[in-house]
């Protein structure tokens, strides 16, 4: 890339970081949360650097958490899982959509109007985007290696296998991997514009590779865990990843994980082979770009059209929503029942009914499958616990351990079933609430025209939360009825637990709506890094008391009423806060 183009790319990158910081500090509540979280992270980092000795309680907690005879193997397995997840769910989707992962609207304004070489331009863009994107992986992995791994290995006689400077190879490999994937994203976009349908096959190939890795590693780990000389779960996972077929299949992420752990396990063959693999991927993408230079500016043109469509949607969000709904309705596999389509409610119920119909018409099959899964998960978990208890009773309780002796008691078994039932519902509630955040972001795009409606602000903020809570409530009430058919004597516990789950989910979704009002458009790098922390803080503060009372209700069913009351009080407080934020909400800020 020429020096002038490099300066422009550097200016665009610095400009995006500056605007991310400016928008993070633009509003008082957002600035307060941002500074509080950054201050806490800085305090933890300084305290860790200044501490002379490790806390004995922390070391004991890490030892109990790992429960392994080979801590280095277990920690390496965790690093491989993190990199596999990041590659499958973060890097690969960015490569599948080059107009978002590589090219941005500012590039069209500043770069595509200048007579630069297309290949050099895309090399520089991919390098700049890779530097900013790799930071989201480098920061947590650096904290993981320097804090958690060091603490976990502090009690073991373990010497460093490589000097500290060797850790600098990890950022280089991350930058190489991100650049290669993003360059392939631009290459796939150019191939698509030239008339060849390649992206679909690449997408299915990545999914097949991810499924093969998951199935092979999990199957091998389960087989090792069930062997006569059974290893600990994390030991079995690490041994499964060291198995030669899994080792070869996981080579793209194993090289990155071993580079992150190079201080403790030294230079491994996976690092060298992974470097060569990612270098070959990068050179292959560069060759494809060089052969398809005439189509590269079409990639920028497609981004320009997409940016114009987004601006038009921002000016007329309701019309854009109707157009998208019509396109989705054209090829939908299921039809909306006539009674649902003809009934038109009034007032705040219209907003609720609109959101429910949009969710149904957009993904009818996925909605049905999710309802089925949320309905069957709690009673199936309780049933599996009951089957486990029966199998444990068939053996000698002394050989089976304290868990089997607990399950041998009728009251203990019922309490354990109620606890597993509640924990399953809690996990489902958290998953549904986190999944609803993106829908809240899209709902807030219609805030400009919704403010003119003659409705109360609280009704406007309750409608999107209720539209996501009602399917969950229907599933949990159905699950409670199934559990009542299985054990009628515990009907009060099942119904009370479902009521607590519904109220807890409503409180969690209200908290995540608050995060959507604070961070409505997490497009900048800083916003994406802080979004997960904001969501974690919101879930903890909004659901801690209700969850504690809910779990106590698994042992004492009378406490479930207090859990429901606590969740409803939290939801009312968050609704009042959301109404005030919604009154001053503006998507363009």
Say if residues 496 and 560 touch (Cβ distance below 8 Å). yes
Q: What is the pLDDT at residue 589?
A: 47
Backbone angles phi, psi at 160, to 5 degrees: -65, 135
**pLDDT tens-digit map of 481-530:** 988 888 888 888 888 888 999 999 999 999 888 888 887 766 555 566 67
Question: What does the alpha-carbon distance between residue 337 and residue 330 come to, in Å, rounded to a whole number?
Answer: 16
- Which of 34 and 252 is assigned the larger pLDDT? 252
**pLDDT tens-digit map of 441-469:** 777 777 666 666 767 878 888 888 888 88
From the DSSP assignment, how many helices (H) and strands (E) are in the chain? 29, 0
Percent of the chain with pLDDT over 70: 60
Query: Mean pLDDT score of the chain, rounded to an integer?
Result: 74
* Mean per-residue pLDDT, 331-349: 59
**pLDDT tens-digit map of 416-436:** 788 888 888 888 888 888 888
Q: SS3 for 113? A: coil
Q: What is the pLDDT at residue 58?
A: 46
Question: What does the alpha-carbon distance between residue 265 and residue 328 come to, in Å, rounded to a whole number?
Answer: 51
**pLDDT tens-digit map of 48-68:** 545 534 444 444 444 444 555
**Both tokens of residue 380?**
């199936």
* Mean per-residue pLDDT, 301-323: 64
Q: What is the pLDDT at residue 437?
A: 81
Q: Is the pLDDT of residue 157 over 70?
A: no
Question: What does the alpha-carbon distance between residue 219 and residue 543 come to, in Å, rounded to a whole number?
Answer: 35
Q: Is the pLDDT of residue 150 over 60?
A: yes
Q: What is the pLDDT at residue 97?
A: 66
Rg (CA), the chain: 27
Question: What does the alpha-carbon distance between residue 537 and residue 550 come to, in Å, rounded to a whole number?
Answer: 19
Q: Which of 40-49, 325-334, 336-345, 491-500 has the highest mean pLDDT?
A: 491-500
**Both tokens of residue 121?**
């331009």
Question: What does the alpha-carbon distance between residue 74 and residue 264 come to, in Å, rounded to a whole number?
Answer: 13
Q: Is the pLDDT of residue 252 over 80?
A: yes
Percent of the chain with pLDDT over 90: 3
Say if residues 355 and 467 touch (Cβ distance below 8 Å). yes
- Which of 334 and 381 is assigned the larger pLDDT? 381
125-139, 181-195, 222-236, 319-333: which range is least confident on average? 319-333
* 328 — pLDDT class (breaks 50, 70, 90): low
CA-closest candidate to residue 382, choices 340, 341, 424, 436: 424
**pLDDT tens-digit map of 516-548:** 888 776 655 556 667 777 788 888 888 888 888
**pLDDT tens-digit map of 121-139:** 677 766 777 776 777 677 6
Q: Is the pLDDT of residue 414 over 70?
A: yes
Cα(first)–Cα(last) distance of the chain, in Å? Answer: 35
Q: Is the pLDDT of residue 398 over 50?
A: no
**pLDDT tens-digit map of 1-19:** 566 656 666 666 676 666 6
Q: Is the pLDDT of residue 88 over 80?
A: yes
* 179 — pLDDT class (breaks 50, 70, 90): confident
* Mean per-residue pLDDT, 195-221: 86
- Which of 470 and 318 is assigned the larger pLDDT? 470
Q: What is the pLDDT at residue 62?
A: 46
- Which of 363 and 45 is assigned the larger pLDDT? 363
- How big is the chain, counted in residues? 589
CA-closest candidate to residue 574, choices 506, 473, 499: 506
* Mean per-residue pLDDT, 99-108: 60
pTM: 0.53
Question: What does the alpha-carbon distance between residue 478 and residue 379 come to, in Å, rounded to a whole number?
Answer: 10
Q: What is the pLDDT at residue 277?
A: 92
């Amino acid at each position: 890339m020429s020096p002038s183009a490099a300066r422009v790319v550097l200016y665009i990158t610095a400009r995006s970081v500056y605007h991310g910081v400016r928008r993070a500090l633009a509003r008082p509540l957002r600035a307060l949360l941002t500074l509080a979280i950054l201050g806490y992270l800085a305090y933890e980092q300084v305290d860790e650097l200044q501490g002379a000795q490790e806390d004995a309680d922390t070391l004991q907690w890490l030892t109990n958490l790992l429960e392994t005879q080979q801590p280095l193997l277990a920690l390496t397995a965790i690093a491989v899982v993190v990199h596999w997840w990041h590659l499958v769910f973060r890097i690969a989707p960015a490569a599948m959509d080059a107009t978002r992962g590589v090219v941005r609207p500012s590039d069209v304004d500043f770069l595509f109007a200048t007579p630069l070489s297309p290949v050099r331009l895309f090399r520089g863009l991919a390098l700049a985007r890779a530097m900013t994107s790799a930071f989201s992986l480098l920061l947590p992995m650096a904290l993981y290696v320097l804090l958690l791994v060091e603490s976990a290995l502090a009690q073991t006689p373990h010497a460093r296998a490589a000097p500290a400077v060797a850790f600098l190879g990890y950022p280089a490999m991350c930058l190489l991997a991100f650049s290669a994937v993003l360059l392939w994203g631009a290459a796939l976009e150019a191939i698509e514009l030239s008339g060849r349908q390649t992206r679909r096959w690449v997408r299915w190939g990545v999914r097949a590779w991810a499924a093969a890795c998951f199935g092979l590693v999990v199957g091998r780990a389960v087989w090792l865990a069930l062997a006569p000389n059974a290893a600990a779960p994390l030991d079995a996972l690490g041994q499964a990843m060291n198995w030669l077929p899994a080792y070869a299949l996981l080579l793209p992420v194993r090289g990155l994980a071993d580079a992150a752990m190079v201080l403790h396990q030294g230079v491994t063959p996976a690092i060298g082979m992974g470097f060569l693999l990612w270098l070959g991927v990068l050179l292959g993408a560069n060759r494809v770009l060089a052969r398809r230079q005439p189509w590269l500016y079409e990639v920028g043109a497609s981004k320009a059209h997409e940016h114009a469509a987004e601006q038009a949607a921002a000016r007329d969000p309701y019309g854009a929503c109707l157009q998208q709904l019509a396109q989705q309705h054209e090829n939908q596999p299921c039809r909306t029942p006539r009674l649902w389509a003809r009934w038109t409610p009034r007032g705040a119920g219209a907003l609720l009914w609109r959101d429910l119909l949009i969710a149904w018409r957009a993904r009818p099959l996925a909605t049905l499958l999710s309802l089925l899964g949320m309905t069957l998960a709690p009673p199936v978990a309780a049933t599996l616990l009951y089957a486990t208890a029966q199998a444990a009773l068939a053996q000698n309780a002394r050989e089976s351990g304290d868990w089997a002796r607990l399950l041998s008691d009728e009251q203990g078994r019922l309490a354990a079933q109620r606890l597993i039932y509640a924990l399953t519902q809690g996990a489902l509630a958290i998953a549904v609430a986190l999944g609803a955040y993106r829908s809240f972001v899209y709902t807030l795009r219609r805030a400009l025209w919704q403010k003119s409606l003659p409705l109360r602000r609280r009704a406007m903020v309750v409608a999107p939360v209720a539209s996501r809570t009602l399917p969950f409530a229907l599933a949990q009430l159905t699950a409670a009825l199934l559990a009542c058919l299985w054990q009628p004597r515990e009907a009060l516990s099942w119904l009370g637990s479902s009521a607590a789950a519904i109220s807890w989910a409503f409180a969690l979704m209200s908290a995540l709506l608050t995060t959507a009002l604070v961070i409505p458009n997490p497009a900048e790098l800083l916003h994406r890094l802080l979004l997960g922390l904001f969501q974690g803080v919101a879930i903890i503060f909004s659901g801690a008391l209700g969850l504690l009372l809910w779990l106590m209700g698994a042992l004492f069913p009378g406490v479930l009423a207090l859990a429901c009351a606590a969740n409803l009080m939290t939801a009312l407080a968050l609704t009042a806060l959301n109404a005030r934020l919604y009154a001053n909400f503006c998507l363009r800020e």
